[in-house]
Amino acid sequence: MQIIRSIKKMQVISRQLASKNKIGLVPTMGFLHEGHLSLIRKAKKLSDKVIVTIFVNPTQFAPNEDLSKYPRDEKGDIAKIKAAGGDIVFIPKRDSIYPDRFETYVNCEKITQTLEGESRPTHFRGVTTIVAKLFNIIRPDVAVFGQKDYQQVMVLKKMVVDLDYPIKMIIAPTVREKDGLAMSSRNKYFNAVQRKEAICLYQALKTAKQLVKSDNVNETIKLRNSMKRVIKKICPTAKVDYIAFTDFESLKITKKVNKNTICSLAVKLHGVRLIDNMKMG
């Protein structure tokens, strides 16, 4: 397995590989868990050579967010990527991705203005910019992302369509812990007691889906209120950022659940902001 840190070297090698191989890409910010590794294994099935990137992207963090505290474990990540079947790890330096006087950004408009985009106004501009740069450097045939970051994936799919990238976008299912908590690098911030309370997001989503399925409740205002009660019961100090029911493709807010509805939520627990989602139909 190769480790590459130079953009120019990555460009040369990816061009060489592309002549005889289908290239799969899994972009990450490192501190890998089983959710990331499942994406690598998925990419391995869909391509000949898998390139995994590790880059903690500063442009998707707001000034008050946890960029400096974001967990890092490069040595451990490299070992995990190798075990999962990755062929190349691309670890660019910050000043090579964003050199002095960098001023060109990619911005997806309407689809970024709700949910995470409303709560974190500069976030998606940073995401689309770094992924566009990685696409340009590596030129993959397939890119694999996880559904946990659902809105992010839909934004990137829109970017791929609008900017004519010849890339197949794959959304892999969210990988969860045994108790249902979506795997996230930020879960390490919790102590044992807080970790038990973190399942409130999953339990709230599961409650909403059960109400839709068994009790035929489809009014989102009722479902939202039920979810808030579940969250507060499990973690009384939790602060709900948003609970939104939207169309799976367009992300348009819906007042009644149908087969294409997905529920997304963001909750701050003990200073840690978690997101999750689940299809209701």
Catalytic site includes residue 270: no
Residue 256's Cβ-side half-sphere holds a number of Cα atoms within 13 Å equal to 4
d(C-alpha 147, C-alpha 41), whole Å: 15
Residue 240's Cβ-side half-sphere holds a number of Cα atoms within 13 Å equal to 21
d(C-alpha 185, C-alpha 79), whole Å: 17
CA dihedral angle for residue 213, residue 216, residue 217, residue 219, rounded to 10 degrees: 110
d(C-alpha 245, C-alpha 264), whole Å: 7
d(C-alpha 192, C-alpha 169), whole Å: 36
Structure tokens at 24: 């799969």
Sign of the Cα pseudo-torsion (10, 12, 15, 19, in order) = negative
d(C-alpha 267, C-alpha 231), whole Å: 9
Considering the candidates 33, 36, 123, 270, report the single residue annotated as catalytic. 36
Q: Which amino acid is at 176?
A: R
Positions marked catalytic: 36
